[in-house]
């Protein structure tokens, strides 16, 4: 069972919930159909405010724990960033209470290191394009100790019951704790936790591949080749962000992968893009490795330097998926 009285669990749930509600408020207030295609200002504000809020909460709860996160405050300290900084401060203050700009900047950089024996890693908004489209995104926070993910929390404001897209409903708060399983509770009104378990499908023809809407870090053509090599006959599920791991954990999909884009053949995954999702999959009974079947190595700083790409599954289809990737030369 999930030990919700554990101070680390309580902190992680509270921090991700508040940050998710903050990010959703930024989306509601600043994202509109009139937004130009290249205007990323709403996601910039949301990214920094989310990280500032969690940095502040971490400072209060575990002041000695560093935060390895996607953002740093340097861009906000530039003279031409004054308006953006004020927006970040304003949204952060709605949840953290009255605060000045310098406090917000320091929270963003709380305990900033590249790695440590024990640290938290954060993606303040995973799925920025989904956020800007008003679709799927996630706040992802994980605790790593001695290279192993111990706690992972995903806040998915536009995902109901851990798997169903619905931007008008209550969202999902998904947590996994090493040895305690994977669980979901409503984001807006946390209460009872429902256990998540991966699907038991073993027939590759029935495998539902969870694919990103965006193709920046993956190889779309190879995913099609992979599906053919594995013998998949069902339509994929398209969704941005680590929300895909939540859907996999809930048994509503069987495979997630990050193949290497031809434009970025040497790309290495950032730890905050995978840490929370990895333990969510594992504690729901699934498996996650790199494309060759090697365990993910979180001991190399901010990137998974010893891994190539990502493969997550319900476990039952993992070996067949690795073999299919090998056949198409995707490893």
Pair 187, 234 in one domain:
no
Q: How many domains does the chain have?
A: 2
Domain that holds residue 247: 204-327
Pair 106, 233 in one domain:
no
pTM (2 decimals)?
A: 0.96
Q: Which residues are catalytic?
A: 47, 128
For residues 65 and 142, give the distance between their C-alpha atoms in angstroms, rounded to a whole number.
12
Length of the chain counted residue by residue: 331
Last residue of a domain, one of 195, 213, 243: 195
In a domain, residue 86? The reply is yes
Pair 191, 150 in one domain:
yes
Q: What is the CATH number of the domain that holds 281?
A: 3.40.190.80
Pair 148, 27 in one domain:
yes
Pair 83, 32 in one domain:
yes
Q: What is the CATH number of the domain that holds 26?
A: 3.30.540.10
In a domain, residue 183? The reply is yes
In a domain, residue 40? The reply is yes
Pair 291, 153 in one domain:
no
Last residue of a domain, one of 176, 195, 214: 195
In a domain, residue 2? The reply is no
* Whether the Cβ atoms of residue 250 and residue 161 lie closer than 8 Å to each other: yes
Pair 124, 251 in one domain:
no
* Whether the Cβ atoms of residue 125 and residue 136 lie closer than 8 Å to each other: no
If you write DSSP's letter for every residue of 11-25 in order, what string do you get? HHHHHHHHHHHHHHH
In a domain, residue 256? The reply is yes
Pair 175, 231 in one domain:
no
User: Measured over all CA atoms, what is the biggest interatomic distance in the chain, rounded to whole angstroms?
Assistant: 58
In a domain, residue 117? The reply is yes
Pair 147, 277 in one domain:
no
Pair 128, 29 in one domain:
yes
Residue ranges of E strands in 32-72: 67-69
List the chain pLDDT tens, one digit each, 331 residues: 999 999 999 999 999 999 999 999 999 999 877 666 677 899 999 999 999 999 999 999 999 999 999 899 999 999 999 999 999 999 999 999 999 999 999 999 998 888 889 999 999 999 999 999 889 999 999 999 999 999 999 999 999 999 999 988 999 999 999 999 999 999 999 999 999 999 999 999 999 999 988 665 566 789 999 999 999 999 999 999 999 999 999 999 999 999 988 888 889 999 999 999 999 999 999 999 999 999 999 999 999 999 999 999 999 999 999 999 999 998 7
In a domain, residue 12? The reply is yes
Contacts of residue 330, Cβ cutoff 8 Å, sequence gap at least 6:
219, 222, 225, 226, 259, 260, 291, 309
Last residue of a domain, one of 195, 226, 241: 195
Pair 171, 262 in one domain:
no
Pair 61, 191 in one domain:
yes
């Amino acid at each position: 069972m999930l030990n919700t009285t554990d101070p680390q669990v309580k902190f992680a749930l509270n921090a991700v919930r508040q940050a998710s509600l903050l990010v959703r408020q930024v989306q509601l207030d600043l994202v509109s159909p009139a937004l130009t295609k290249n205007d990323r200002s709403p996601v910039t504000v949301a990214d920094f405010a989310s990280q500032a809020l969690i940095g502040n909460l971490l400072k209060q709860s575990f002041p000695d724990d560093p935060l390895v996160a996607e953002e740093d405050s340097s861009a906000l300290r530039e003279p031409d960033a004054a308006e953006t900084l004020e927006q970040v401060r304003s949204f952060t203050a709605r949840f953290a209470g009255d605060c000045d700009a310098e406090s917000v900047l320091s929270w963003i950089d709380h305990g900033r290191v590249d790695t440590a024996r024990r640290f938290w890693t954060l993606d303040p908004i995973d799925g920025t394009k989904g956020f800007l489209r008003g679709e799927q995104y996630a706040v992802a926070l994980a605790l790593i100790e001695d290279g192993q993910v111990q706690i992972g929390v995903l806040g998915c404001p536009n995902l109901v019951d851990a798997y169903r897209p619905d931007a008008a409903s209550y969202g999902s708060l998904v947590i996994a704790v090493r040895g305690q399983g994977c669980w979901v509770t409503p984001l807006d009104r946390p209460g009872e936790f429902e256990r998540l378990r991966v699907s038991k499908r073993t027939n590759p023809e029935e495998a539902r591949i969870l694919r990103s809407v965006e193709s920046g870090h993956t190889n779309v053509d190879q995913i099609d080749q992979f599906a053919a090599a594995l013998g998949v006959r069902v339509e994929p599920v398209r969704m941005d962000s680590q929300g895909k791991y939540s859907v996999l954990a809930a048994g509503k999909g069987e495979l997630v992968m990050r193949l290497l884009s031809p434009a970025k053949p040497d790309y290495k995954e950032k730890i905050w893009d995978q840490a929370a999702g990895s333990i969510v999959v594992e504690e729901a009974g699934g498996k996650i490795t790199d494309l060759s079947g090697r365990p993910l190595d979180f001991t190399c700083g901010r990137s998974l330097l010893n891994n190539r790409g990502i493969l997550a599954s319900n476990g039952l289809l993992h070996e067949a998926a690795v073999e299919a990737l090998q056949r198409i030369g995707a490893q």
